[in-house]
């Protein structure tokens, strides 16, 4: 009975680790520069969010997914290596405060430095 309980506990723990996203591969494309994203559209703005807590491509995927749920977010490029996420968005539909809240609700700590809020204008 103890062996069965330990095996079940291990299986649940292993599943939880896999579902958390860390260590997995992501479909997130290679990091693009803010300039590359800016050139994609003139009707959009860019913001670079500082995001603490990303440690792997799975984390990058989680942050990207949270931001892409916001209407008006056109493109997201998260980098755990740089602890930053560049977002191209339509300012008539989305705002930086909404993006910061979405990232924070997904379990990471986001902020938009004042000097970067108007990047790309």
Distances (CA, A) of 64 to 10, 11, 15, 50, 51: 30, 28, 22, 13, 11
26 contacts 61 by C-beta, under 8 angstroms: yes
pLDDT, one tens digit per residue, over 33-53 is: 555 555 554 589 999 999 999
The angle subtended at Cα 76 by Cα 31 and Cα 44, nearest 5°, is 115
More reliable by pLDDT, 5 or 53: 53
pLDDT > 90 in the chain, percent:
56
Query: What per-residue confidence (pLDDT) applies to 61?
Result: 97
Domain 26-117 bears CATH identifier 3.30.1360.120: no
- Where do the structural domains in the chain lie, given as residue ranges? 26-117
pLDDT, one tens digit per residue, over 107-120 is: 999 998 764 444 44
61 contacts 21 by C-beta, under 8 angstroms: yes
């Amino acid at each position: 009975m103890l062996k069965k309980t330990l095996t079940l506990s291990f299986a649940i723990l292993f599943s939880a680790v896999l579902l958390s996203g860390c260590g997995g591969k992501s479909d997130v494309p290679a990091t693009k520069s803010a300039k590359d994203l800016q050139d994609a559209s003139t009707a959009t703005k860019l913001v670079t969010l500082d995001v603490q807590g990303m440690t792997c491509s799975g984390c990058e995927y989680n942050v990207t997914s949270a931001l892409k749920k916001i209407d008006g977010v056109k493109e997201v490029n998260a980098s755990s290596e740089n602890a930053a996420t560049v977002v191209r968005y339509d300012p008539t539909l989305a705002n930086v405060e909404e993006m910061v809240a979405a990232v924070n609700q997904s379990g990471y700590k986001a902020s938009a430095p004042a000097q970067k809020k108007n990047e790309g204008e």
